[in-house]
A and B are shown apart, each in its own frame.
Chain A
């Protein structure tokens, strides 16, 4: 953390007349841990979320190591179960859900709408403590021996049979959930009440729209997860319950409640990523976003439909055939607004003056991988195909394309795009481009073979497999090694840039948007004078033919 402060000292030397940057506002650890400044809280999130990412990634690396050979060489079945559970729980709740909203939503959103802070700064700090506290519960469960239920906690296994640390893990996820709700409420109120004068709803940057819609989903879906986990915990502790068929209950009820949260949750992960792409692409294509209003409506459409399709996770669980048919149909409807977004990004790129900077490479990678993951989602939404590939590696490939290919790419894109604003330093561009390419290549090598494996029938969540599947598994594991290198690179050069990077100007990319109109790094109150929000968003001058 002190690295950031040093960076600020040097960056500010050039312009002594300005108000001190937010990095200047105290240098002790406590000045960070007690800060109510949304920019500092964003950095607290960035540090803790990155730590969780690498813990989750370590579990994944061990799994890919085990799957290098058909037999059980590295870990036994029990340990393998605990590994994929830890991986799933940490990646979903400690990384993917909070990552872009809590880090870049926190840092950039108030700047982008010309606000001095979020609506409830103290609540914002509280939600970081909840996040960190909940995360520590999960880590504690891991250290005590882990959990083997899978990230979906399906009953009755989780409520009756598993003798691992289910309750502790549930507590962690529950607490992180309250953090999400607090963050969501904060963003909603901020967007409603703190926009700069002149900034109407259709002048909001699309990133703000995306975070706003995400917040609505967070506020409405997360409590359903919370109560479901509480019911599960009650059933586990008191040995009676709703979900346990031995006592007359029904495990389908658990699945309905769980997926009622968890399908919208996948949009909590992907909508902010779409928002990031919508900032980066126009900036580096030097064009206005094509079809701005459609983009905004598509965000709303996705958010609404996301609540109606949970049943596609239960095609083979014994729900009625009619329900499955309705859910299949509704699932296809999600594809419409998603496709609108992909078309409009493409149209924005068309005849743009494109510069392939690092953020742009990450954003393009996002679009390509999201498109692929989305298309295979349509396979899965078709009832008959799903019955064939459900619970195979095809599903694993599908959601990794969306969540790792999509959301993590966008997270890195956002990190590079706003890095100069956050730290006041530029990163080494050629390293950053190299890392983007390595990640893209490593990613495809890791997950494409899994589509084939799944199609050929390799089930998910097993630590051994028939030797026939080995070639594809070796390819996948090799890809994972490349991917690991790709993820470690940004960690290295970004940290290096904090100390040695060139000082960044206020607007290094020539981007439009209020966040680039203030000093770099921004002063504690964001703007010395309240900015005017009446310019249209993405105000890039039209290109000459």
Chain B
């Protein structure tokens, strides 16, 4: 994503601004990408309130809560890694990225475990779908359609984020310096974004409807 190789301090500064702006524009586009999923969720909640409430009680609150904590910690890790790299402590920055990657993988593993449980409990939309105790099975199935669609999309984004982090980690080892820092900053923005999406998904899919 670089323009011609930078030759002066000023050029490096400009390129940093360029990369940052590019990432922000891309994140604007990502917001619009997830927007319709939330819109679809709200639409369903509005049209079939009881079914959506009943269905959201079927999700695994413990897994969801643990995953929220895992993801928030990973965001902290990215910020720490950037801070360390900025101060020239590249070795420690790399270790911070290791932690970030491990936390990302842990999130995916927990999510995978959840999916297996959902499958066992017949919560995967399709001919075998059955939510115990729900009056409106069709409505509950729509909830689970949104649930699987949104969380799978989020997991896909997280996977891309892990790849980005591994890329930054390698760059920190091979050619530490300003261009790498710039990349780490952009990757960090992306990671935080993926985090924020989850911060919205968690209450929507796990918490709403539980108190009733």
Residues in chain A within 8 A of chain B (CB atoms): 116-117, 119-123, 181, 184-186, 188-189, 192-193, 219-224, 226-228, 230-231, 234-235, 238-242, 247-250, 253, 257, 260
Contacts and interface: CB of A to CB of B under 8 A. Distances in A.
Given A117-B3, A231-B40, A257-B39, A224 B32 contact: yes
B43 A240 contact: no
A65 to B, nearest CB: 39
A188 B21 contact: yes
Contacts of A189: 18, 21-22, 25
Nearest to A249: B142
B4 interface: yes
A120 B21 CA distance: 11
B75 interface: no
A185 to B, nearest CB: 5
A503 to B, nearest CB: 30
B138 A247 contact: yes
B34 interface: yes
B43 A250 contact: yes
Given A224-B36, A228-B36, A119 B28 contact: no
Contact of A193 (B14, B39, B139): B14
Contacts of A119: 3, 18, 22
B125 interface: yes
Given A193-B14, A242-B146, A219 B22 contact: no
Interface in B18-50: 18, 21-22, 25-26, 28-30, 32-37, 39-40, 43-44, 47-48
A238 B44 contact: no
B25 A185 contact: yes
B142 A242 contact: yes
Nearest to A253: B43
A119 B1 CA distance: 8
Interface of B: 1-4, 14, 17-18, 21-22, 25-26, 28-30, 32-37, 39-40, 43-44, 47-48, 125-126, 129, 136, 138-139, 141-142, 145-146, 149, 153
Interface of A is mostly: helix
A409 B34 CA distance: 36
A120 B1 CA distance: 5
A176 to B, nearest CB: 15
Contacts, number: 108
A53 to B, nearest CB: 27
Contact of A247 (B14, B17, B142): B142
A234 B145 contact: yes
Most buried by B among A184, A234, A248, A253: A248
Contacts of B35: 223-224, 227
Contacts of A248: 48, 136, 138-139, 141-142
A248 B145 CA distance: 12
Contact of A120 (B3, B43, B141, B149): B3
Contacts of A223: 29-30, 32-33, 35
9 closest Cβ pairs, A-B complex: A248-B138, A223-B33, A240-B125, A223-B32, A185-B25, A219-B29, A227-B36, A189-B22, A120-B1
Contacts of B22: 119-120, 185-186, 189
A250 to B, nearest CB: 7
B118 to A, nearest CB: 14
Given A219-B32, A223-B35, A241-B145, 4 more contacts: A119-B22, A122-B2, A241-B142, A249-B142
B1 A122 contact: yes
B28 A220 contact: yes
B31 to A, nearest CB: 8
B166 to A, nearest CB: 20
B125 A238 contact: yes
Contact of B29 (A222, A234, A235): A222
B30 A239 contact: no
A192 B153 CA distance: 31
A227 B33 contact: yes
30 contacts: A117-B3, A119-B3, A120-B1, A120-B3, A121-B3, A181-B26, A181-B29, A188-B21, A189-B22, A193-B18, A220-B32, A222-B29, A223-B29, A223-B33, A226-B33, A227-B34, A230-B153, A238-B126, A238-B145, A239-B126, A240-B125, A240-B129, A240-B145, A242-B43, A242-B146, A248-B136, A250-B47, A257-B36, A257-B39, A257-B40
